[in-house]
Amino acid sequence: MIERISLQRAVAVISDDAIAIRRSRAQLLVPFIQLGIAAGAVLLIVFFLDSLPLPLLAVLLAIAILLGPISTLGLLYNLLGNAVVLERDKQSVRWQQGLFGLGLGTSELVPFWRIDHIAVSGDYDEVLAGGDRQDLVTWDVELVKDNGKRLSIGMVVVARPFAEEGLARANQLAQSVAERSDTIAQLAELAIERVTTEDSESTSSGYRRRRLVRVSDPRTPEVER
């Protein structure tokens, strides 16, 4: 059974024995635009070689030379490559540049026995310099090695009202990685403030009471503290 979890500019494809963090298909837009500009520059050179001024031809040629290879590599990377790959049969997690998805650009390889735990952290409680809460919340899923080095597996970025849903996705990814690498997952919890009424009674001032509820997963029952 294949399961997918949406991440920031990526998607996690989870199977029984492997997890692949792949670039989102939305990332193809920029390489396609670059490729279109390069192709347009080449067509202008071919059809208007005799009529266009030399400086303009030089500019078009430079655009074709620069954007052509860049857009082609970008398309290949997003279509065929993976950013993070966990394979149970190889007992390792690797970070790679994604050249053809073959691991030729591997920048980091961590065998399972070097993994201490999988951690989820976020900036939900952090405040800006002016004292206001951040409008966007980032949840980061990291692999922590036995020497303390932390490697990012994937991030979930959501608007503050959807912090619970984003945390659920991050925790789900961390739990899946931990289960397939035979390690433990340190999941994050979210302290949120909810407005409730007690027995449909309001205070004399008209304000409703506030309770602080700590939620580890929005799918689990809420516990009042």
Task: Return the residue matching tokens 């939620």.
Answer: 215
Cα(38)–Cα(25) distance, integer angstroms: 21
pLDDT at site 209: 37
pLDDT tens profile 48-84: 888 889 999 999 999 999 988 888 877 776 666 667 8
pLDDT tens profile 159-178: 999 999 999 999 999 999 99
DSSP string for residues in 29-54: HHHHHHHHHHHHHHHHHHHSTTTS-H
pLDDT tens profile 72-126: 877 776 666 667 899 999 999 988 765 444 444 567 889 999 999 999 999 988 8
Segment 198-221 shows an average pLDDT of 41
Lookup: tokens for 165 = 């849903």
Look at residue 201 and tell me whether its pLDDT is greater than 50: no
pTM assigned to the model: 0.64
Q: Give all strands (DSSP E) within the chain, no chain letters.
A: 3-7, 10-14, 18-23, 82-87, 92-96, 106-111, 115-122, 136-145, 150-159, 185-186, 190-195, 210-215
Domain-wise residue ranges, the chain: 190-225
Four-residue CA torsion sign, 56, 58, 63, 64: positive
What CA dihedral angle connects 16, 178, 7 and 103, to 10 degrees? -70
DSSP state of 175: H
Q: Give the CA distances from residue 211 to residues 17, 159, 165, 205, in Å, rounded to whole numbers and listed in that order.
A: 42, 22, 20, 17
What average pLDDT is seen over the chain?
79
